[in-house]
Chains A and B, each alone.
Chain A
Amino acid sequence: MSAITAILHYDLKRFLRDKLMLAFSVLVLIMYVVIVQVSPDDIQPKWVFATTEEGAELVEDVLKRMVDEKAGDVDQPTIKVVRFKTEGDLVAAFKKQAGIEDEKDNKKEGEKKDDESDDEYFVGFAFPADAKAKALRGEKPEVHLYVDESMPRENQELAELIGQQIALATLSQGLDIDETQKEDALLGKKPEMRSFKEQMRSMFALVILMMEMLAFASLLSKEIKSGTVHALLTTTVSLPTYFAGKMIFGVLLAFTQAYLVSIFTGALTPAPLLLTAYLLIGAVMFTGFGIIVGSRGHDLMEVLMFGMLFMLPGLIPVVTAILPGGDPLWVQVLPTYPLVQGMLTAAESNPDFAPGALLAWSLAWTAGLLLVGVVALRRRLK
């Protein structure tokens, strides 16, 4: 145990003396805090509700009521209602989503700016011409709901909820809908509607883990290149003790920084225990990467090069998680995928979320990477 303590003590000293890596670490920490601070607090998506003339008033009434009920509590979201004469017109406009004509703003088709379309969600309600008559007769009119499939899943669900609300108002029949949840969602307060800042908080903690992987790999590589590792292994330090010392140092180096900054920025607040567990697993996983990189790299340039080979694919699940749409299979097989998904889902504070599968998946990858790291290091030392 005293040998491991000595390794930890002197590795920390060496880390603090590595000006380049230290500067890199401090820079990443500063960037993390700055990005989290300057990121927008809330998502204010612009909703464009397209409707046929028959149901336009109904849609407007329902939306107005939903907004009014929450207007004093939250910022007013941007909602536009666009009317179309027929369902055909609505569908055509839907297909050219970027060119929907805003009657109030008197914009022409195709003139809408790209920056506006980025955060606009288009939902179409097509009412049959006899919708009101059918409703009066107690019959159920068939209302077509159009939702862009590239829209984030939670927003598609929201659109469906609004559709159901409209149906409720039309038919004056009670449906099994949680009104509060639905309205909160519209106003950007539903738990799934997480802000960019909230998503970034936990994701940037991963970036810190990756940066520390490079610092750790650099220290390890230097030790191997200079041959000091051989000197260590002729003392009372055995190979397993050396591996243990290096692993503990790598994990502590990455975890401590990511954890402290996460506390400082409130990234752990949604689920402190679970997110801490994911951070710890992430620290171990990136230590595994670090051992592989440190074993392969003979100097700083090689460490950076090999490090990038692991970092860039490792970041892909972070990017795809933030972007709308599902994750392709090749992303799902990346080692960081379950970690990213686990952290994002944990940060959503969803009471229905059972973290077991993602934790186990992350742990399996972590154990595999550590094993590969130990084998790589062992081979290098031979």
Chain B
Amino acid sequence: MSNAITVNGLSHAYGDFKAIDDISFEVAPGEVLGFLGPNGAGKSTTIKVLTGQVPLQAGSVEILGMQRGGDRSAIQKRINVSFEEKNLYEDMTAKENLAFFARLYGVRDIDLEALLRRVGLADRMNDRVDSYSKGMRQRLMVARCLVNSPDVLFLDEPTDGLDPVSAKSVRQLIHQEAERGCAVMLTTHDMMEADKLSDRVAFINSGKLIAVDTPQNLKQKYGQRSVRVCYEGDHETRIALDDDDASAKVADAVKQPGLLSVHTEEATLEDIFVELAGQGLS
């Protein structure tokens, strides 16, 4: 099966400043790719080029088999974007917001109430958006990007501002879309979120892609696995599992008197990013 998104040697500059520098990656249909990096790393510019908000300067972008720079409308019809800023029409109701965007995509036979029910807004669908809470707006943003049943979805901080229950329902929704075959490109600062949602993650820093792999592979490849053994008297010891004699060390540790608990530990995506980029995400 061909990729939903194929990016090759993509570069983009604002004047002398190179925002993205020769990056390449791909996203398969039904895959969720977490696109991670600190502010100013080039995430937004990449998304802008991919979604057609800024023109392609160098490299190639293929979306659903169509080259970016060719028939714009044919691509836009099959993708959708959820922005970090809650750019909704505040003076319109939730239903009107969705109906407007559905019309722009040429979608006529859509059950907007059912779509709003999926994000838990059906009972408020006729209320103006300016009466909505931040979380409700975020859920409406997610609903809006589903009006055209896209084959490629770009989500920027989709669970930002959501309470745990709402965040979980949005995550479920993203998984449902991926199961349907929709390729999802997710940008977020939340590493836990990326870890839970992404099939693969891509790290970008200073305009360059520094790693693309599954979270598990990245952790195995770059992270330190360890066992933490806690004893009475606030005493603990850490044993790196990648050491040659790790098994023997763990066996010895659990035989020591005053044993309280044994914990396995693995590196987080943030740890790995710090290791690879030499800086944190914030």
Q: Which residue numbers of A lie inside 8 Å of B, CB to CB?
A: 2-3, 6, 9-10, 13-14, 17-18, 222, 226-228, 230-238
- Report the bound CA distance from A9 to B105 in whole Å: 15
- Report the bound CA distance from A303 to B80 in whole Å: 32
B91, A14: Cβ atoms closer than 8 Å: yes
A227, B85: Cβ atoms closer than 8 Å: yes
Say yes or no: is B257 at the interface (Cβ < 8 Å to chain A): no
Closest to A228 in B: B87
Q: Which residues in B have their C-beta under 8 angstroms from that of A226?
A: 87-90
Q: Which of B76, B81, B87, B105 neighbours the largest number of chain A CB atoms within 10 Å of its CB?
A: B87
Given contacts A10-B96, A233-B53, A234-B76, whether A227 and B101 have CB atoms under 8 Å apart is: no
Given contacts A13-B96, A14-B92, whether A234 and B85 have CB atoms under 8 Å apart is: no
Say yes or no: is B117 at the interface (Cβ < 8 Å to chain A): no
Q: Is the interface of A mostly helix, strand, loop or mixed?
A: helix
Q: Which of A3, A230, A231, A232 neighbours the largest number of chain B CB atoms within 10 Å of its CB?
A: A231
User: Could you say which of A17, A18, A231 contacts B81, with CB atoms under 8 Å apart?
Assistant: A231
Q: How far is the CB of A12 from chain B (nearest CB, A)?
A: 12
Q: Which residues in A have their C-beta under 8 angstroms from that of B81?
A: 231, 234
Within 8 A of A (CB), among B44-93: 51-53, 72-73, 76-77, 79-81, 83, 85, 87-92
- Report the bound CA distance from A236 to B78 in whole Å: 9
Q: Which residues in A have their C-beta under 8 angstroms from that of B101?
A: 231, 235
User: Could you say which of A9, A10, A230, A235 contacts B89, with CB atoms under 8 Å apart?
Assistant: A10
Closest to A225 in B: B87
7 additional contacts, CB 8 Å, given A233-B52, A234-B79?
A6-B100, A10-B96, A10-B100, A228-B87, A231-B83, A234-B52, A237-B104
A236, B76: Cβ atoms closer than 8 Å: yes
Closest to A382 in B: B54
Closest to A235 in B: B104
Closest to A5 in B: B103
Q: How far is the CB of B64 from chain A (nearest CB, A)?
A: 14
B104, A18: Cβ atoms closer than 8 Å: no
- Report the bound CA distance from A156 to B81 in whole Å: 69
Q: Which residues in B have their C-beta under 8 angstroms from that of A235?
A: 76, 101, 104-105
Q: Which residues in B have their C-beta under 8 angstroms from that of A231?
A: 81, 83, 87-88, 101, 144
Say yes or no: is B106 at the interface (Cβ < 8 Å to chain A): yes
A234, B91: Cβ atoms closer than 8 Å: no
Q: Which of A10, A234, A236 neighbours the largest number of chain B CB atoms within 10 Å of its CB?
A: A234
A236, B106: Cβ atoms closer than 8 Å: yes
A10, B53: Cβ atoms closer than 8 Å: no
Q: Which residues in B have their C-beta under 8 angstroms from that of A3?
A: 103-104
- Report the bound CA distance from A18 to B130 in whole Å: 13
